[in-house]
Structure 1
Amino acid sequence: MDIKTVGSIGYVREGHDVLSFQVGSSTTSPVEAIFNNTNNNLTGPVLMQVDGYSILLKGRTNNEPEDIEALISGNSELPELIEKQIRLLYGVGPRCYQEHFDEETGKLTRKWAKQPEIDEMFDDWEVKGMEHSAEDTLLQIIRRYYYHEEFYPKFHFSLSRLLSDEVIRSLNLQPPMFGFELVENNRTRLASRRQIDMFQDDFEEKDFDTVFIGNWNRGLTRRFKRYKKFKLSKARANRYSIGHYKNDAVGSIYGVNKLYKGSRDWILGANSTPKDLNSFFKNFFGAKVHIIIPDAWCESKKLMLQKYCEINAKRKADGKEYLTVNGIEVGETYHEHLFTLYANAEVKKLMTFLSGAENQGKAFISYSFRTGDNEEERWRFEEVDLKQKDHVDSRLDFHKRAQEVLLAAKGIDASISNITKDGIISKSGADLLYNYIIYLMMNRPIAERLCMKPYNDMIRVNKPHLYKQGWRWGLYTDVPARQEETSPKDRTKNQQP
């Protein structure tokens, strides 16, 4: 027997029999009521006190990063959609460029070129002591951006940070900042030295100038590392500092995954569809068939059990062991419970034999009986119309609608995502190219600016003279041209090895 409860509701399952229940008239537990009540004081930011600091929690229960990652990873489409976004943004990788404004055409263009000082600064990070290369760290940043819309690089500074730029260049010393590594979102929390009362005090983002790193959701004794938050105005003040880069969200100091906030219920519904359908198909036999056992069979088995009891009485007198039927010890005296046990064993045998994917195509054998009027009585299986097809179709329709909602929220056309959509007939290369260009124009600029900002801040700290000249690190994407606009020798079909 399996009993499970969620809050004040639950179910009891014994084989294929399921009974649901609830305790009281409300189906919300006291704890759920606290967090689900939109009028309580926990609807805003939540703070906790650690080592004399006010820590700003991520979510009401301080586990929002884990919740986001579990929600996305449990979806059948979102992880690959995000990987597509990463590939579309990364393109062929980071390169140096300068922006130029053409007064004649009124267009802003980038001039991509090599810049030896900048290229050298981002080379060989592993040799300089970093865990990953600059390019690998960039891929990590982009991935965290699409999962959380914020990320935390840990900047490493050398002792040359205490010297002026002129002295560093004249002595050819290592630049002040020699790299950074990414810290996972679930390990970081913003902190303030102020003792903030979250119910009465007013506070803002600049109050949180410290970052705590630690294991927030495991163990009773916690050990935290504490760093100053990176600020360009005080970039060289500390040997290590943690940057906080985010896509701004209204009413939140942390970055907010808008997809998680706005489409969470759709994602949860889509995530539950495969499990729901698998469970349905696994148990569909017991769910839609009603078994009728004929009276003649029952009477026959009762007589059989009575005979076994008589035989066992004689065997006891002869000093022999009792006979058993279907694994049931019938003893010497017949009673109605013996028949109940026997009938239950037959039904279990039937269900075990006929239900489940491994038993498809098998047969169950029973005897039929004739009444005094020569009418046949036998086991009957009557189908109970529980609208199984309607249930499956409705789940699939919901899943399809959830896909559309997620694609719309992500801003990815079905032709780019490779997720089929009803009503989409044209799959021409021209449509795909058009949608691809539109996606890049609408979604790329903000994502690139934010993900490349730590690198451009590094240029600003280490090479301020190049930064003033307009040098930046950006993501280069080679947008393909239409085949009819390309010479025959340069077309895709002629580029295969």
Structure 2
Amino acid sequence: MNEIEFYNQNAIVNVDDVAFTFETAENPREFDKYKTVQDTLDWTNQEYQIDNYRVFPFGTNNDLDKVIKDVIQNNSISPGILTKKGQLLWGKGPQLYKEELVDNNLVRTWVQDKRVQTWLESWGYIDYLEKIKEDYSYIQACYTKFYLAKGARVGKPSIAKLEHVSPGEGRLATDIGARSYKPKYCIVTDWNFKRVASVTDYDVYALFDFQKPFEHRNAILYSNKYSFCSDYYTVPDLYGSLEWIRRSTAIPIILKALSKNSINLKYHVISPAKFWDKAKEELEKKATTSKPYTDKQLLDYKKNYLREISKVLSGAENTGKFWHSIKYVTIEGHKIFEEGWEIKEIKQNIKDFVTAQITISNQANRMVAAGVGMHPALGGAGESGRADSGSEQLYALKNYLLTGIDIPEAIVMKAVNYALKINFPEKELKLGFYHLPPQKEEDVTSSKRIKNQE
């Protein structure tokens, strides 16, 4: 009897005399699960229309945030690297400061202000900043909603509070027919629906304008790192590392199959995503009101299909049989892309096979760290089998604090520092992340070491 275990788009198939791994390969034009042409990243030629609004999609399928979330959270190392990156940015936490020139050097003077601190705590600024920091770690962008205080009604306007808006819910937009394609609004809704035309429940907010902070009762600020030649959204640093992350994710599944019950993998079967998309469409067409389509139907279809493949691949009596499949051809300009089933035999040299998989995994881990701008010594993705030296970690940390903090902090703190300048202009205060200067172990006295350990 066939045993089939699914892991997202991958599976392990095990029968009496053969075992193979299975994965769903995306369109070769695509970079992971969204249909963005790799060599152009041209999202600005696409738009959606919702009522009287022109909505700019985040990724060609308008689901780049979901794609990154799924790819990262299924991986073993990427979440840890991004968490470490966020921790390094956070340091000892947010603190108020003033910028001053001392001997022609710009320095921060950290201060405490009870009035400002009371306002920050009144709307939970710590929780807000933790969410904003997390969004920035993943996509180098974040959304913040501004609320006006009731004092605006009596001529004393101020910002009452700030609120985090999930990147999965916010999209930039402008008016249909507007001459300028510059975004004017942020449309907030659940963007995980299948068809944009089905959207009926959404909220529209004007984009926050620091020059006119009290023009709207609520407004949203999209704070982001500019990406070269990208008009609206940031292209996340992770974009170029997604394929490496997927390779890293697939390897533990393959090694599990290799070690489970001492089975040896004989084949690796790759199927085109378009094949399953068409199968899903057919199942949806056959669905009725009394028996609507469910994802379980597609899963059962996959299992049955893999059982048919296993019949061809297994058994000595199948000598001479062959597997036939259809190739899908996509023509784009002068380029021709083919998608079809592939069955690759895995040579039964277990040691070399495992070594090759581990080598790929280690390289993938280092490429992921590089893709998110983290030195391997800080992200925990150094050379396999050795710990990074203390001096290497120390210099990596010093370099990060000197060059990797200012821009991320400015983007994460942009909304709250706008609010501080609006509400407390006379104080000239800003909010920033406090960091202790790194020290070599030999520079720390023994008494301080004992105190720190306690």
User: What TM-score, normalized by structure 2, do the two folds share?
Assistant: 0.71
2:73 aligned partner, one-letter code:
S
Alignment match, 1:378: none
1:496 aligns with 2:446: no
Distance change in 2, residues 1:447/1:41 (3 Å): closer
User: d(CA) in 2 for partners of 1:477 and 1:92?
Assistant: 6
1:108 is aligned to 2:106:
yes
Alpha-carbon distance, 1:424 to partner = 5.9
CA drift of 1:100 comes to 1.5
Q: Distance in 2 between matches of 1:107 and 1:460?
A: 23
How far, CA to CA, are the matches of 1:19 and 1:121 in structure 2?
60
1:187 counterpart (164, 169, 178): 169
Higher percent of residues as helix: 1
Structure 1 contact 75–270 (Cα < 8 Å) conserved: yes
- In the TM superposition, what is the alpha-carbon distance from 1:412 to its structure 2 partner? 2.7
The CA distance in 2 between the partners of 1:236 and 1:265, in whole Å, is 45
Larger Rg: 1
Instruction: Give the conservation status (yes or no) of the 8 Å contact 2:369–2:375.
Output: yes
2:187 alignment counterpart: 212
Q: CA deviation at 1:485?
A: 3.2
* 1:62-86 Cα shifts (integer Å, max 9, x gaps): 1110001111111111111111112
The AA in structure 2 aligned to 1:435 is A
CA contact (8 A) 1:96 1:474 kept: yes
Aligned AA (1:452):
M
Is 1:227 matched up with 2:205?
Answer: yes
Please list the CA deviations of residues 127-180 of structure 1 after superposition, one character each: whole Å capped at 9, or x if unmatched.
xxxxxx10111111100001111111111112323555xxx4xxxxxx611111
Cα 1:29–1:246 change in 2 (3 A) is closer
Paired residue secondary structure (1:191): strand
1:330-349 deviations in Å (ceiling 9; x for gaps): xxxxxxxxxxxxxx99x9xx
Q: Which structure 2 residues correspond to residues 135-150 of structure 1 after superposition, within 5 A?
A: 135-150=126-141
- 2:369 paired with 1:407: yes
Q: How many residues align?
A: 364
What does 1:117-266 correspond to in 2, within 5 Å?
117-125=115-123, 133-162=124-153, 168=156, 176-195=158-177, 203-204=180-181, 207-218=182-193, 220-266=198-244
One-letter amino acid matched to 2:145? K
**Matched letter for residue 403 of structure 2:** M
Letter in 2 for 1:451: V
C-alpha spacing 1:120/1:221, structure 2 compared with 1 (3 Å) = closer
Structure-1 residue corresponding to 2:410? 449
Q: Give the distance between the partners of 1:259 and 1:449, measured in 2 at CA.
A: 17
276 and 287 in structure 1: CA distance in 2 versus 1, 3 angstrom threshold = closer
Q: Give ranges in structure 2 of 5+ residues lacking alignment.
A: 5-10, 267-313, 318-345
Deviation at 1:14, TM superposition (A): 6.9
What is residue 82 of structure 2 aligned with on the other side?
82
| C-alpha distance in 2 between matches for 1:57 and 1:16 | 48
Shift of 1:410: 3.0
Give the Cα–Cα distance (whole angstroms) in 2 for the partners of residues 88 and 41 of structure 1: 30
The RMSD of aligned alpha carbons is: 3.7
1:411–1:439 Cα contact (<8 Å) kept: no
Residue 431 of structure 2: aligned partner: 473
Tell me whether 1:281 sits opposite 2:259 in the alignment: yes
Unaligned runs of 5+ in 1: 4-9, 22-26, 126-132, 169-174, 197-201, 289-343, 348-383
- Identify if the C-alpha distance between structure 1 residues 14 and 425 changes in structure 2 by more than 3 Å, giving closer, same or farther: closer
The alpha-carbon deviation at position 203 of structure 1 amounts to: 4.8
Instruction: Give me the whole-angstrom Cα distance separating, in 1, the residues matched to 2:139 and 2:375.
Output: 22
- Structure 1 residue 280: Cα displacement: 3.0
Matches within 5 A, 1:315-326: none
Change (3 A) 1:152 1:20: closer
Partner in structure 2 of residue 356 of structure 1:
none
Alpha-carbon deviation of 1:496? Answer: 3.0
With over 3 angstroms needed to count, the CA separation of the structure-2 counterparts of 1:416 and 1:286, relative to structure 1, is closer
3-state SS of paired residue (1:185): coil
Question: How high is the sequence identity, in percent, across the aligned residues?
Answer: 22
